[in-house]
Amino acid sequence: MLIQIPSVLDQNKIENIRSMLDKVDFVDGKLSAGLAAKPIKHNLESVLNQKQSDYLDQLVMRSLAEHTVFQNGALPHQVSQPIFARYTQGMQYGDHIDDPIMGSAGGRFRCDIAVTLFISDNTDYEGGELVINTAFGLQKVKLSAGDAVLYPASSIHHVNEVISGARLVSVCWIQSLIRDPTKRELLFNLEKARSKLMLNNPETEETKQIDHTYVNLVRMWSEF
């Protein structure tokens, strides 16, 4: 399931992030790549001190956590710290899937979902589309600044070559309460219907049935 999440960051937050990242160093993204990714990963990643990392982590992750679409789509249990990546002219990232387990010893988590949050606007660069292989074919994603996309970390995906300009994104990974992506999609669609019913017809028996079904499916399928 691929979910676009609009307006995660407002313009003020976007400008704050850009301003901070303008002041930090970026290093070759291959330094954080595994054996399979090294030959195909051509980007830059930010080097942050603890204060900068804490500030950006709080700003980005709080904004995601407060977004209803993110909460309903991801059903997050554990979320990684965000990585900030820059792609300049000629850079790209070839076909890959994300690592199944992330984090250091004592803090490891299963990687179910990837999230790309766009810091630069889609008019700031040419090329650089995120391309995700889905059951419905290849889906190209290139969103406005402040928007995000959520997709299974197990899906084959790549970033097209940047022709001009610079693509700046934040990427993080999630262990969901619901491991199975098909079940997550069912719950996401059911929650949309449930929310609408609870808003418009909260007292009807049908609303109560949908509400109870959603809650008990989460209880049944959750691994925690």
Phi, psi values for residue 213, rounded to 5°: -65, -45
Please give the pLDDT value at position 167: 98
- What per-residue confidence (pLDDT) applies to 34? 78
Residues of the chain with pLDDT under 70: none
- 83/161 Cα distance (integer angstroms): 19
User: Strand 113-118 relative to strand 157-159: parallel, antiparallel, unpaired?
Assistant: unpaired
Q: What share of the chain is helix, strand, coil (3-state, %, to 5)?
A: 35, 30, 35
pTM, two decimals, is 0.94
Whether domain 3-176 has CATH 3.40.1190.20: the reply is no
Report the pLDDT value the prediction gives residue 205, as an integer from 0 to 100. Answer: 95
Q: pLDDT digits over 31-77, tens only? A: 888 788 889 999 999 999 999 999 999 999 999 999 999 999 999 99
Instruction: Evaluate whether 148 touches 181 at the Cβ level (below 8 Å).
Output: no
Give the model's pLDDT for residue 105: 72
* Per-domain residue ranges of the chain: 3-176, 181-221
What's residue 36's pLDDT? 81
pLDDT for the residue numbered 104: 79
